[in-house]
Amino acid sequence: MLSESHKQRYLRGINLPNVGEEGQLKLLDASVLIVGVGAIGSIASIYLTATGVGRIGLIDYDTIDIGDLQHQVLYETSFLNRPKVRAAQAKLQKMNPSITFEGYFQALDVRNALKIIQGYDFIIDTTNNLHTTFLVNQACVATGKPFSTAGYFQYQGQIMTHIPDSACFGCAFEALAPQELRRNFQGGVCGFSTGILGSMQAGEAIKYFLHRDMPHLRRTLLVNCLGIFDTQKLYFNKFLLRKNPSCPVCSKASK
Ligand SMILES: [Zn+2]
């Protein structure tokens, strides 16, 4: 049962259709790992914290640079040179003292990925780094964990979600021309585009927890599709993806 203080704190969420006190309890019992606490991770972590996802892991090897403050909105000028994970954890804990945070001041790599990812219910990859995204994809498929990945290039954003048995990032990457997946920091970073991605990724995790036992789960998530938007040209398109039977990561033959 929800405590009185939780009922008051989360009332606006509880009142939403398909949430209720039962839904809020599901969120409080859930855990999310956010890989990368930069532009996208700032916003994803703020919404997950405010919404009351009970346990949040943050992993990032980087420290805060003056140039980060233009788009990594979790950080203040006084935080310069501090590890992002430590600064994020301190700030988020103040926003919602009842959430448990776990900080990993290190890179996610082949040696630690499986172990860390296994400890969480849902993974959010915000790194905008294809190498890390493939690693998250591989570790999540291997452990049966759902995840959302997002990337950006200037004003453009890309996002997809994987749940067991849906198309994985390997399936998606094979199906698209490489230029559709441009992800890098060259030519600038658009904070309001990365903010949309972080908000959407928090939403994917929250909807997963609310609907994971229900038959309509797939319809509520960006599974088997890649969402691509551009805030300058003002479009949002969904490209349908099929599971690739010869995907090197998720096909039965690869196991
Ligand atoms: Zn695949």
Ligand 1 centroid to Cα of residue 46, in Å, is: 30
Ligand 1 centroid to Cα of residue 153, in Å, is: 23
pLDDT tens profile 9-64:
999 999 999 999 999 999 999 999 999 999 999 999 999 999 999 999 999 999 99
The number of domains in the chain is: 1
**CA end-to-end span of the chain:** 42
Please state, in angstroms and rounded to a whole number, the distance separating the CA atoms of residues 58 and 143.
19
CATH code for the domain in which residue 209 is found? 3.40.50.720
The answer to whether the CB of 137 falls within 8 A of the CB of 149 is yes
Ligand 1 centroid to Cα of residue 227, in Å, is: 17
Q: What band does 121 get if pLDDT is binned at 50, 70 and 90?
A: very high
Please state, in angstroms and rounded to a whole number, the distance separating the CA atoms of residues 60 and 41.
10
Ligand 1 centroid to Cα of residue 110, in Å, is: 18
Ligand 1 centroid to Cα of residue 138, in Å, is: 9
Q: What angle do CA 103, 84, 170 make, to 5 degrees?
A: 75
Domain range enclosing 58: 4-254
* pLDDT averaged over every residue in the chain: 93
pLDDT average, residue stretch 171-180 = 65
